[in-house]
Amino acid sequence: MKYIIAIFFTIIFALQLSAQDATEILEKVDDNMNSETSITKSDMIIYGRRNSRTVTSVGYAEGKNKSFSEYLAPAREKGTKMLKLEDNLWIYSPSTDRTIQLSGHMLKQSVMGSDLSYEDMMENRKLTEMYDSEVIGEELIDGRNTWVLQLTAKVVDASYESRKIWVDTERYVPLREELFAKSGQLLKKTELKEVKKIDGRWYPTKMNYKDMLKDGKGTDFVVLEIEFDTEIPAYIFSKAALKK
């Protein structure tokens, strides 16, 4: 009987520890991946059926609620700007000299033909706010030991009912993420590679986003330059900056 009680309490304790650990891991991941501010120059490589194209942009971000990006290349996209403030997203197109606000179904559209939707960029909440998490195992990815975290939505309006995240056990950087529908169908997969230490934090500089329901190689996101916690003038996050 003593053994049974001991095993019972051990299991309960282990489960609590696992949940607590998973939350802590997620918080550390959130802390590592998010900064007060960031300025990123990046290439987005969109793979089509026959060819691929690269879109270069510079992005400014303050927390999770404010971001501004300007497309630098190719010539067709050059000058296009995007501003996100809380739940609002505006796009400025230089060819029409017009700013439009994206809402509703427009947010479901793909960003520049990539595997990313505008909506994917609109999520403001931290993972810990939206999901209950638990560590369900450990795996080796590209020679790095990772915890496998199972996330289950605790809010009703999460886009994805569940997620699976592989987190580097030393660097607290996610190396892989899978997003699932309510039915359990895998919808999207993200691979994060080439983790480098930048300004004292480990950060993946190459990411591949893949819509698992579609054919193709997905979309690569390559960080060319990144600065963390640099002061960004307030006017950048204003609608006036779109037309400048």
Which residues would be at the binding site for another protein (CB under 8 A)? 103-106, 108, 153, 156-161, 181-183, 185, 187, 211, 213-216
Residue 34 CB, nearest approach to another protein (Å): 23
Kindly tell me which of 185 and 230 has the beta carbon lying closer to another protein.
185
Kindly tell me which of 86 and 139 has the beta carbon lying closer to another protein.
86
Asked if 45 and 54 touch (Cβ cutoff 8 Å), the reply is yes
Kindly tell me which of 50 and 105 has the beta carbon lying closer to another protein.
105
The two counts, helices (H) then strands (E), for the chain are 3, 13
Kindly tell me which of 105 and 197 has the beta carbon lying closer to another protein.
105
Residue 112 CB, nearest approach to another protein (Å): 15
Kindly tell me which of 39 and 158 has the beta carbon lying closer to another protein.
158
Residue 169 CB, nearest approach to another protein (Å): 30
Alpha-helical segments (H) within the chain:
2-33, 118-122, 127-130
Alpha-helical segments (H) within 127-217:
127-130
Residue 111 CB, nearest approach to another protein (Å): 14
Question: What does each C-alpha distance from 193 to 58, 91, 217, 224 come to in angstroms?
Answer: 20, 29, 15, 13
Residue 181 CB, nearest approach to another protein (Å): 4
Residue type, 229: D
Helix (H) or strand (E) holding 43: strand 37-47
